Amino acid sequence: MKRRVVITGLGVVSPIGSAVDDFLAALREGRSGIRPVTRFDTSCYSTQMGGEVDGDSLGLTPGVFRDYIYDMVREAVRQAAGEARLDELVQRDPWAVGVSMATSLGGTLSREYYHEQKHLKGEADPALLLNVPAPLVTGLTARLTGARGPSATLVTACAAGTNAVGLGFDLIRRGEVRAAVTGGVDPFSQVSFSGFHALRALTKHICHPFDAGRDGLVIGECAAVCVLEDLESALERGAPIYAEVLGFAISNDAYHQTTPDPEGGGAERAMRGALEDAGLTPADVDYINAHGTGTTYNDDMEIRAIRNVFGERIPPVSSSKSIFGHTLGAAGAIECIVTTLCLAHGFVAPTLRWERPPVEDVEIDFVPGRSREADLRVAISNSFAFGGNTASLVLGRYGG
């Protein structure tokens, strides 16, 4: 018999708040964290906007380098592990707590600084490159929590955060661990900014997903951590329960290195698979937290996939990337937190700057402008990435 899995701790460092209460308040108010970029000169790019974490909250000093990705991880893990009282489980059996973390960039800020110093001064400290490997994020999380169970680093592009949560979910319900620290982190990097610029995927103004005038995405950054736990263990400890993880599925387009399958085949299979895993039907879903990047190709594909799965009965759909930007490898993790908070507090998050439907025959409620109170029982969180990587989570309101 599969174990039930619940979310008992959340931690977030983001452009709209570096504590869960602040993050929740910004979501409900529809307060944007997208503003002019300060980390580096963007004058040669198609946009000067981004979703940066406040430098003061990270303790950044202008002109002084620090690879703050690890500071973001420490803070998000501290919040989530503290809220879940994870130390109780670790003290009892550290091998019963696993870790699965996601990132696309890892310590790329150290790599950038190393090359900048080589270019400007002809030399740089090679020890900087020791900060670069992606698995360091997972190792740090394990050390911070004392977790000694199975660990993995997910690098499946912008689906990685969802896959990290899904892996933790699978480990728990199969009985391999009692709890898992899951999530993702990516920093605001010149590498990612210039890469998406070269792909012509950045907006020329500011992102407005699913709108007829959308023209691209905005890069963001965050650390987002969810502590998952076996329901029996959570009840036994009296741990707080935000929501229940009901289903998870991954798929693949096998279509193109960067362009999604225009028919939405992989996205459709991921949503259907996650619902089947949860033992639910499309009619059971009350809200979809979409991948919703704001690019023409991705939004068109996702709309097509949603219509294929849900037919004429499509629940409200929103893109939280309109609020804090596309956080790359961490996107699925922070959007899992958005979906969890929506279920726990009874609202649907908004799509900012939405004005007109993308095509005349699409009648979908994109929750424009502001959040809305809603009696949610079941929600889907989608992540659709480069390389055709697709993943969906089904979350439910916990009701005992």
Q: What mean pLDDT is predicted for residues 64-81?
A: 96
As a whole number of angstroms, the distance between CA 181 and CA 164 comes to: 9
C-alpha distances in Å from residue 309, one per residue of 158, 281, 292, 306: 22, 10, 17, 5
Q: Give me the pLDDT at residue 259, please.
A: 76
Strand arrangement of the beta sheet that strand 222-230 belongs to: 151-154, 97-102, 179-186, 222-230, 5-13, 243-252, 389-396, 378-384, 287-289, 317-318
Q: Give me the pLDDT at residue 362, please.
A: 66
User: What percentage of the chain reaches a pLDDT higher than 70?
Assistant: 98
Q: What mean pLDDT is predicted for residues 29-48?
A: 94
Q: How confident is the model over 250-303, as pLDDT tens digits?
A: 998 887 777 777 888 999 999 999 999 999 999 999 999 999 999 999 999 999
Q: Which of 106, 185, 100 is nearest to 151 (CA)?
A: 100
Would you call 222 a catalytic residue per the annotation? no
Q: Phi and psi for 254 in degrees, rounded to 5?
A: 50, 45
Which is the catalytic residue, given 207, 291, 336, 342?
291
Residue 352 DSSP symbol: T
How do beta strands 243-252 and 5-13 pair?
antiparallel
Query: Does the pLDDT value for residue 361 go beyond 70?
Result: no
Q: How confident is the model over 182-192, as pLDDT tens digits?
A: 999 999 999 99
C-alpha distances in Å from residue 184, one per residue of 49, 85, 230, 319, 333: 22, 20, 21, 18, 6
Alpha-helical regions (H) of 132-223: 135-145, 160-173, 190-198
Query: Does the pLDDT value for residue 388 go beyond 90?
Result: no
Q: What mean pLDDT is predicted for residues 241-245?
A: 98
Q: What mean pLDDT is predicted for residues 228-236?
A: 97
Q: What mean pLDDT is predicted for residues 146-155?
A: 98
C-alpha distances in Å from residue 346, one per residue of 30, 233, 341, 376, 398: 15, 25, 8, 6, 12
Q: Give me the pLDDT at residue 4, please.
A: 97
Which is the catalytic residue, given 207, 208, 226, 326?
326
The secondary structure element, H or E, covering residue 381 is strand 378-384
Instruction: Judge contact between 159 and 391, C-beta under 8 A.
Output: yes
pLDDT tier at 360 (50, 70, 90 boundaries)? low
Query: Does the pLDDT value for residue 98 go beyond 70?
Result: yes
Q: Which two tokens stand for residue 172?
A: 């728990």
Would you call 205 a catalytic residue per the annotation? no
Q: Phi and psi for 370 in degrees, rounded to 5?
A: -135, 155
Q: Which of 361, 250, 349, 352 is nearest to 300 (CA)?
A: 361
Q: Give me the pLDDT at residue 120, please.
A: 87
Q: What mean pLDDT is predicted for residues 17-40?
A: 96
Q: Which of 362, 252, 365, 284 is nearest to 319 (CA)?
A: 365
Q: Give me the pLDDT at residue 63, please.
A: 83
As a whole number of angstroms, the distance between CA 183 and CA 100 comes to: 7
Q: What angle do CA 27, 32, 36 make, to 5 degrees?
A: 155
Instruction: Judge contact between 43 and 109, C-beta under 8 A.
Output: no
C-alpha distances in Å from residue 31, one per residue of 57, 110, 209, 380, 381: 18, 31, 16, 23, 21
Q: Give me the pLDDT at residue 377, please.
A: 98
- Category of 273 on φ-ψ map: left (φ > 0), alpha (ψ -120 to 50) or beta: alpha
Cα dihedral sign for 321, 282, 394, 270?
negative
Residue with tokens 């898992």, as numbered in its chain: 180
Q: How confident is the model over 104-139, as pLDDT tens digits?
A: 999 999 999 999 999 989 899 999 999 999 999 999
Which is the catalytic residue, given 158, 207, 222, 226?
158
